[in-house]
Amino acid sequence: MKIRQTTFALAAIAGVSLLAACGGSDSSAPESEVAPAAEEVVLDNGMTPKEQIELRQGQLKKLGKAFKTISDQLKASEPDMAAIQAAAASVPVESEGMADWFPAGTGPDSGVKTDALPAIWEEPDLFTEKLSDFQMAAGALATAAETGDLAVIAPAFATTGGTCKSCHEKFRADD
């Protein structure tokens, strides 16, 4: 926290001296005139790009784990229905607010290691479409799991998995 405040203050000082050097006294000059280094950036939500990227990767890992659990159980000779239901119920919870996980400034340009492709910010409507396809399918999967009927759960799982894949193909590197 302390480091961030310091770098922020330095960026502000740099901004002031830049304006002075230009002979400008216009305090309404856009902030973008000062291009801060990666570690000085703070997003509108108060997080650094690194914090935001690590947060979403952590949540996505949880989704991956939940999906592996369901997939493993569906293949098992005696599927553990309670495990399937818990995992299916966790997906909508862990992916809540996913639309806010990709603010501008958290792509590969941030200098932080991320598999998020620039296409996310170049084609935001398509990204939002893939995201809502996923959220609808995940909700339906959680509801299907409540039936405890594998014949209902398996197709809902396949549909949801398809929405993960569809987004990854377009918007995630290494896929």
**Contact residues: ligand HEC, CB under 6 A:** 53, 56-57, 60-61, 63-64, 67, 91, 114-116, 127, 130-131, 134, 160, 163-164, 167-168, 171-172
Least distance in Å: CB of 115 to ligand HEC? 4
Quick check: 55 and 114 in contact, CB under 8 A? no
| Continuous segment of H or E residues that includes residue 86 | helix 81-94
| Structure tokens that stand for 57 in this block | 């990767």
Least distance in Å: CB of 103 to ligand HEC? 12
Residue with the two structure tokens 């229905």: 81
- Compare residues 11 and 91 and give the one whose CB is closer to ligand HEC: 91
Could you tell me where the beta strands, DSSP code E, fall in the chain?
A: none
- Compare residues 72 and 115 and give the one whose CB is closer to ligand HEC: 115
The Cα 67–Cα 73 span in angstroms is 10
- Compare residues 48 and 160 and give the one whose CB is closer to ligand HEC: 160
Least distance in Å: CB of 78 to ligand HEC? 24
Least distance in Å: CB of 160 to ligand HEC? 6
- Compare residues 82 and 158 and give the one whose CB is closer to ligand HEC: 158
Number of Cβ within a 10 Å radius of residue 112? 21
Residues in the chain: 175
